[in-house]
Amino acid sequence: MHGWVGRVLHVNLTDRKWEIRSSDRLDFLGGRGYGASVLFDAVGPDAHPLGPDNLLVFSSGPLTGTLFPGSGRLSVVTKSAVTCGYGSSNVGGHFAAEMKFAGFDHILVSGVASDPVYLSIMDGVPEIRDAKHLWGKTTWEAEEAIRKELGRETRVACIGPAGETKALVACIIVDKGRAAGWSGSGAVMGSKNLKAIAVRGHGAVSVADPEGFLAECRKAWAAIGRSRVMGQMKRYGMLGISGMDGLFSGGPQGVKNLREGQWEGHKTLKLKEVVFRERFGEYRFGCFSCPTPCNQTYRIPGDDKDHSGKCLGIHANTVRAFGPNLDIDSPEVVVRATSLVAQLGMDLDAVTAVVAWAFEAWEKGILTSADTDGMELTWGNSQALLDLLWKMALREGFGSVLADGVRNAALAVGRSSDRFAMHIKGTGLNEKGLREYVGWALGIATSTRGAGHLNGAPLTEDRQLPKEVSRRHFGIDTAYEPAAYEGKEHLVFYYERLKAVIDSLGVCYCHSHWYDENLYGADELARAFHLATGMAITGQDLMRVGERIYNLEKAFNILHAGFSRKDDFPPERFFDQPVKTGRYQGAVLDRAKWEELLTRYYRVHGWDAKSGWPSDARLRDLGLGHVADRLKECGRLAEG
């Protein structure tokens, strides 16, 4: 077998047994596609996300571990503890490649261990080890302790205290600062009493056509080397591109629980990329086989007392989360909060959504100090943020109200506070541009993992390129027009399939058409896949695989969470509160146009316009007959 290493590890923690099987489901490629396929078949609609029947899938792709650029991506797939539907995360670092060198394409974890354990895989040999001594430790402490036990080169994916308390804002941390966020994956891992998975191996990934594959890798690396955006990424990281400055500067921001689109200039200046780089920047950090290391370690000089003065990876969404969304303009606080969420094992997008909601509820007088353990949740109160992070992770006092995310917190508090709970399908929002960029908003609102711009949301809408370029790349005129509704269904349809393919091949989305239309797209990926695995495929066929994966995820959501058309809307705020200042002053979503856009979006997919459910014909055409049958049994299959 080429590309894949050919083995899957199935672990049942309830009876502490494991089994090794051959890699299968190759028509779903690997990574996210493999996870979606196995999850659909193995987890029933009655399975509780935090119960023994849920499955936690760690999955690499056929290009993972090779010299293809950005080949270090890992997908973590599970039934979402946040939406009760499909859950997936995608994380970089070195874990996925090391997992393949240790002999496995995928690791599937089911059951619940009676006591805390961790799973080690050293050169193909799995072992379920006691983790009582690691329970209660932060992700950094746990990773260091495991390295002492298993060797310095071990790569670790683990949970922190937040995962142990099954906080739904918990995630899985890889390499101390890379987060497999979304979906409450950390809570799922904690519910299984699984503290960590540690991998180390001396194995190899072979490819079908070594010379051809190397030539393809060289071409992809060279294209990245020529790209202006990738040059910026390499020099200034993600923060330099999409943060407070960079190529797309002057664009939208998400301010004070996303109710405003532009932050005051003097505050914006305090959180520019150069501030973090020059004041706190230390070492560059690249994920495995990455030509554009977008990560950096940061350290507040002279402050080592509790390790919260240093962190890895301040990105655009990090600054948005702990800056404008909470009206905090201190770069030191951004460093500390980034450090704490990594050490405690929390998803910063989910965290900022719920904390910003609490700040707004305080402002409106819905929450008082009687609710908040005496804390004053005023905008910009950075100490309250740092205290709340600990309280949420440990489920202490008011933190226990926030620990399960913004939708659940608003339900618990009541008093009409759900009006400003910023979530879609229960998934907290940490997004800019929901009023300004229509295609971006559509991609976020229809995402199969609840919300988030890393499914179908395009990055084209602020580039202001001519119609001819739009037509050449996407077959529509409006790809670069932020306020246009026409054609955006095609743009989102394109990117959601491309992203599904990229996540399933185990490579990085940043090096693709998403950031720069001159980088790899479906045709280049199809060539690399062919040369790696020996299995011939066209770019068009690869996009069809992406569509199959997306439909499977959609069907999982319909079966498990009952999602339909009504769930594909951004919160009311984005329809009735226009942007007040800046370049996009007056921008707001138009409900009638959104309804029409949604209808066109469903039609492009072959889904029913009224319910948003897939049709029998389209599912069978995609080779998902068994999925159509399951939906039909539940009465949730569209006619046609």
Partner 1 sequence: MLRETVAFEPSLCSGCQACMLGCAFRRMRVFTKESSIYIEANHLFAEPKMILHPSCDMCPEFETPMCIEFCPTGALRLGRRFC
Q: Which of 138, 289 has the CB closer to partner 1?
A: 289
Could you tell me the two tokens for 496? 């959601």
Nearest residue to 497 (alpha-carbon basis) of 544, 448, 532, 533: 544
- Min dist CB 217 to partner 1, Å, is 8
Q: Which of 270, 299 has the CB closer to partner 1?
A: 299
- Min dist CB 107 to partner 1, Å, is 19
Q: List helix spans (H) across 323-347.
A: 331-344
- Min dist CB 386 to partner 1, Å, is 20
- Min dist CB 304 to partner 1, Å, is 10
Backbone angles phi, psi at 198, to 5 degrees: -120, 135
What is the distance between the alpha carbons of residues 559 and 566, in angstroms, rounded to a whole number? 15
Q: Which of 65, 439 has the CB closer to partner 1?
A: 65
Q: List helix spans (H) across 286-381.
A: 316-322, 331-344, 348-363
Q: Which of 251, 313 has the CB closer to partner 1?
A: 313
- Min dist CB 328 to partner 1, Å, is 24
Residues that bind partner 1 (CB under 8 A): 65-67, 94, 101, 152-153, 155, 175-177, 202-207, 210, 214, 221, 234, 282-293, 295, 297, 299, 310, 312
CB–CB of 333/386 below 8 Å? Answer: yes
Q: Which of 147, 471 has the CB closer to partner 1?
A: 147
What is the distance between the alpha carbons of residues 616 and 639, in angstroms, rounded to a whole number? 6
- Min dist CB 344 to partner 1, Å, is 16
- Min dist CB 490 to partner 1, Å, is 34
- Min dist CB 351 to partner 1, Å, is 21
What is the distance between the alpha carbons of residues 390 and 334, in angstroms, rounded to a whole number? 15
- Min dist CB 204 to partner 1, Å, is 4
Q: Which of 285, 602 has the CB closer to partner 1?
A: 285
- Min dist CB 140 to partner 1, Å, is 8
Q: Beta 86-91 vs 106-110: how paired, if at all? A: unpaired
Could you tell me the two tokens for 271? 């959180």
Q: Which of 220, 619 has the CB closer to partner 1?
A: 220
Backbone angles phi, psi at 16, to 5 degrees: 55, 45
- Min dist CB 423 to partner 1, Å, is 32
Torsion angle (degrees, nearest 10) of CA 140, 141, 146, 152: 60
Treating both helix axes as pointing N-terminal to C-terminal, what angle do 488-505 and 467-474 enclose, rounded to 10 degrees? 50
Residues 6+ apart with CB under 8 A from 370: none
The residue type found at 530 is H
Angle, CA of 199, 499 and 250, to the nearest 5°: 110
Q: In the beta sheet, which residues pair with residue 17? A: 12
What is the distance between the alpha carbons of residues 640 and 635, in angstroms, rounded to a whole number? 14
What is the distance between the alpha carbons of residues 121 and 310, in angstroms, rounded to a whole number? 30
Q: List helix spans (H) across 395-516.
A: 398-402, 405-413, 438-445, 467-474, 488-505
Q: Which of 129, 299 has the CB closer to partner 1?
A: 299
Could you tell me the two tokens for 578? 């226009």
The residue type found at 41 is D
Phi-psi domain of 623 (left: phi exceeds 0; alpha: psi -120 through 50; beta: other): left
CB–CB of 561/425 below 8 Å? Answer: yes
- Min dist CB 233 to partner 1, Å, is 11
The continuous run of DSSP H or E covering 523 comes out as helix 522-533
- Min dist CB 100 to partner 1, Å, is 9
CB–CB of 567/425 below 8 Å? Answer: yes
Q: Which of 153, 576 has the CB closer to partner 1?
A: 153
CB–CB of 13/117 below 8 Å? Answer: yes
CB–CB of 540/522 below 8 Å? Answer: yes
Q: Which of 278, 468 has the CB closer to partner 1?
A: 278
What is the distance between the alpha carbons of residues 60 and 507, in angstroms, rounded to a whole number? 9
Q: Which of 145, 549 has the CB closer to partner 1?
A: 145
- Min dist CB 97 to partner 1, Å, is 8
Residues 6+ apart with CB under 8 A from 472: none
Q: Which of 248, 285 has the CB closer to partner 1?
A: 285
Q: Which of 167, 337 has the CB closer to partner 1?
A: 337
Nearest residue to 455 (alpha-carbon basis) of 539, 546, 545, 555: 546
Q: In the beta sheet, which residues pair with residue 615? A: 638
Q: Which of 230, 355 has the CB closer to partner 1?
A: 230
